[in-house]
C-alpha cells in the first residue's frame, strides 16, 4: 500500500528534507508540497492525500487554522511538526484539539540523537497516522449521512457499574490521541473528589507542563506536573513529567511520587508499566485504572500486576480510540473488567466522588 503524503511548511528546505526521508522507502509517495495553510487546504481537497504533515508557524494561514479548515472541508489524518518551546507546546495541543492525530518535534535531532533512528521514527509515525486515514474519511461520511437520524435519537450510553468498594486512587494512562481523550474525561470529574488521580501520558519533557496547565484551566480538579516527593491528595491530579519516570512510594506514612530519570533500555518515558507496577506494589486501597487510546502495549504488564491485587481496569473501545493499541493489548489479554467508549467513560466520571 502506497501512503500518499502532502507536506506543509513555509521552509522549502524542511519540505525537501521530509520528502527525502519519507521517499527513502518505497511505500511513501509525496503528492504535493504547500507553503502555508491556505495552499494546504486547496491541495488537500484536490489531491486527497492519506496523510498531511503540518507546520504550525506559517504565513497567510497558520497550521492550527489549517487543521480546523481541513477537518471541516475534507477530513484527513494530520501529523503536526512543532517547536519544542513553551509556545510550541501550547500550539501543538491546540492543533490536537482541532483534529490532528499526532505530533513530532520539527527538528529531527530533538526526536532522537541518532539521526538514522530519528528518520525511522518519522516514517513509523507517518505510517501509524496513515492507518487512521480511511477511518477518518469513513467517519466523516457516516456523520453526515446519519446526522438527521442522530439528531432525533437520544444518546445511548451503556451503564457502567463501579466496583462496590470506594475508589481510593484513579489512574489514567494513554499515548497517541491521549491529550484530547484525557481532557474529555478528566473535565467531567467533580472538583470535590475524595481520591487522588495519577496520569501517565506519553509526551516529551517540555510538553507535559503545558498540558498540565491546560488541564488545570479546563477541569474542576487541580492538575499539576508531578515533582519528586509530591504527596497524593484527594481531588488533585499529578501528571507524570515527560522524559522521566513516575513511581508511587510510601513516605512518612503517606503516599508520594518518586520522579527519576529515564534509564537505558526504557522505551517510554514516562512509562505506564513502571507507574502501574509501583502502584500494585505500594497501594493497598481500591484502585481504578483507565487505559485510553495509544499505540503499542505500554500498560499491559503493569495491568497484570494490578489484576493480581484485585484492582479494576477499564479499557477504551476500538471505535472511539485514535490508535487502538494500548487498550487493545489490555482487552486481548483479558485484563479489562469493562470496555467502554470515551463518551461512556466521560459520562461515568461525572458521578465519581
Q: Is 230 a member of any domain?
A: yes
Do 302 and 188 belong together in one domain?
yes
Q: Is 146 a member of any domain?
A: no
Catalytic residue among 50, 298, 312, 317: 298
* HEC readout, the chain: CCEEEEEECCCHHHHHHHHHHHCCCCCEEEEEEECCHHHHHHHHHHHCCCEEEEECCCCCCCHHHHHHHHHHHCCCEEEEEECCCHHHHHHHHHHHHHCCCEEEECCHHHCCCCHHHHHHHHHHHHHHHHCCHHHHHHHHHHHHHHHHHHCCCCCCCCCCCCCCCCCCEEEEEECCCHHHHHHHHHCCCCCCCCCCEEEEECCCCCCHHHHHHHHHHHCCCEEEECCCCCECCCCEEEECCCCEEEEEEEECCEEEEEEEECCCCCCCCCCHHHHHHHHHHHCCCCEEEEECCECCCCCHHHHHHHHHCCCEEEEECCCCCCCECHHHHHHHCCCCCEEECHHHHHHHHCCCC
Q: 288 and 167 in contact (C-beta within 8 Å)?
A: yes
Catalytic residue among 65, 82, 133, 175: 175
Q: Is 148 a member of any domain?
A: no
Q: Is 187 a member of any domain?
A: yes
Measure the CA–CA gap between 204 and 225, rounded to whole angstroms: 13
Q: Is 156 a member of any domain?
A: no
Q: 40 and 34 in contact (C-beta within 8 Å)?
A: yes
- The CATH number assigned to the domain holding 321 equals 3.40.50.180
Q: Is 335 a member of any domain?
A: yes
In this predicted structure, what is the pLDDT of residue 66? 97
Do 59 and 98 belong together in one domain?
yes
Cis preceding linkage at 270, omega within 30: yes
How many separate domains does the chain show?
A: 2
Do 17 and 89 belong together in one domain?
yes
Do 183 and 319 belong together in one domain?
yes
Do 62 and 103 belong together in one domain?
yes
Do 237 and 343 belong together in one domain?
yes
Nearest Cα neighbor of 256 from 285, 278, 287 is: 278
In this predicted structure, what is the pLDDT of residue 102? 93
In this predicted structure, what is the pLDDT of residue 158? 43
Do 310 and 194 belong together in one domain?
yes
Q: Is 226 a member of any domain?
A: yes
In this predicted structure, what is the pLDDT of residue 117? 83
Grid coordinates of 333: 489479554
Contacts of 93 (CB under 8 A, 6+ apart): 179, 207, 210, 211, 214
Catalytic residue among 50, 82, 133, 202: 202
In this predicted structure, what is the pLDDT of residue 145? 41
Q: Which domain-ending residue is among 141, 160, 195?
A: 141
Core vs surface per residue 113-145: b (16+ CB within 10 A) or e: eeeeebbbebbebbbbbbbbbeebbeeeeeeee
Instruction: Indicate the pairing of strand 3-8 with strand 51-55.
Output: parallel
Do 225 and 309 belong together in one domain?
yes
Do 90 and 221 belong together in one domain?
no
Query: Is 298 assigned a catalytic role?
Result: yes
pTM to 2 decimals?
0.88
Do 280 and 136 belong together in one domain?
no
Output the tens digit of pLDDT for each of the chain's 353 residues: 899 999 999 999 999 999 999 999 999 999 999 999 999 999 999 999 999 999 999 999 999 999 999 999 999 999 999 876 778 889 999 999 999 999 988 776 555 556 888 889 899 999 999 988 777 765 554 444 444 433 443 444 344 444 456 899 999 999 999 999 999 999 999 988 899 999 999 998 889 999 999 999 999 999 999 999 999 999 999 999 999 999 999 877 789 999 999 998 899 999 999 999 999 999 988 999 999 999 999 999 999 999 999 999 999 999 999 999 999 999 999 999 999 999 999 999 988 87
Do 27 and 95 belong together in one domain?
yes
Q: 229 and 189 in contact (C-beta within 8 Å)?
A: no
Query: Is 148 assigned a catalytic role?
Result: no
- The CATH number assigned to the domain holding 95 equals 3.40.50.2300
Q: 300 and 276 in contact (C-beta within 8 Å)?
A: no
Q: For residue 322, give its domain range.
A: 169-349
Measure the CA–CA gap between 169 and 283, rounded to whole angstroms: 9
Q: Is 159 a member of any domain?
A: no
Do 137 and 179 belong together in one domain?
no
Query: Is 220 assigned a catalytic role?
Result: no
Q: 22 and 67 in contact (C-beta within 8 Å)?
A: no
Amino acid at each position: 500500500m502506497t501512503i500518499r503524503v502532502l507536506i506543509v511548511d513555509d521552509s522549502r528546505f524542511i519540505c525537501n528534507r521530509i520528502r527525502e526521508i519519507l521517499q527513502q522507502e518505497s511505500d511513501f509517495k509525496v503528492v504535493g508540497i504547500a507553503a502555508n495553510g491556505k495552499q494546504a487546504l486547496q491541495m488537500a481537497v484536490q489531491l486527497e492525500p492519506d496523510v498531511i504533515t503540518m507546520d504550525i508557524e506559517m504565513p497567510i494561514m497558520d497550521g492550527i487554522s489549517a487543521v480546523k479548515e481541513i477537518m471541516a472541508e475534507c477530513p484527513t489524518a494530520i501529523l503536526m511538526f512543532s517547536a519544542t518551546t513553551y509556545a510550541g507546546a501550547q500550539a501543538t495541543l491546540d492543533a490536537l484539539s482541532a483534529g490532528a492525530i499526532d505530533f513530532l518535534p520539527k527538528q529531527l535531532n530533538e526526536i532522537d540523537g541518532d539521526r538514522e533512528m530519528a528518520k525511522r521514527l518519522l516514517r513509523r509515525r507517518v505510517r501509524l497516522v496513515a492507518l487512521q486515514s480511511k477511518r477518518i474519511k469513513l467517519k466523516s461520511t457516516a456523520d453526515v449521512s446519519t446526522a438527521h437520524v442522530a439528531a432525533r435519537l437520544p444518546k445511548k450510553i451503556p451503564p457502567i457499574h463501579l466496583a462496590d468498594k470506594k475508589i481510593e486512587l484513579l489512574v489514567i494512562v494513554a499515548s497517541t490521541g491521549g491529550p484530547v481523550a484525557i481532557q474529555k474525561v478528566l473535565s467531567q470529574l467533580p472538583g470535590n473528589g475524595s481520591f487522588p488521580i495519577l496520569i501517565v501520558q506519553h509526551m516529551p519533557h517540555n510538553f507535559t507542563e503545558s498540558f498540565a496547565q491546560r488541564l488545570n484551566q479546563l477541569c474542576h480538579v487541580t492538575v499539576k506536573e508531578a515533582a519528586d516527593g509530591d504527596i497524593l491528595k484527594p481531588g488533585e491530579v499529578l501528571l507524570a513529567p515527560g522524559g522521566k519516570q513516575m513511581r508511587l512510594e510510601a513516605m512518612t506514612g503517606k503516599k508520594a511520587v518518586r520522579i527519576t530519570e529515564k534509564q537505558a533500555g526504557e522505551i517510554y518515558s514516562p512509562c505506564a508499566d513502571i507507574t502501574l507496577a509501583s502502584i500494585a506494589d505500594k497501594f493497598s486501597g481500591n484502585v481504578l485504572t483507565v487505559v485510553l487510546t495509544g499505540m503499542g502495549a505500554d500498560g499491559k504488564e503493569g495491568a497484570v500486576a494490578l489484576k493480581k491485587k484485585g484492582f479494576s481496569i477499564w479499557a477504551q473501545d476500538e471505535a472511539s480510540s485514535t490508535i487502538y493499541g494500548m487498550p487493545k493489548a489490555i482487552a486481548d489479554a483479558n485484563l479489562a473488567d469493562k470496555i467502554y467508549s470515551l463518551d461512556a467513560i466521560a459520562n461515568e466520571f461525572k458521578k465519581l466522588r
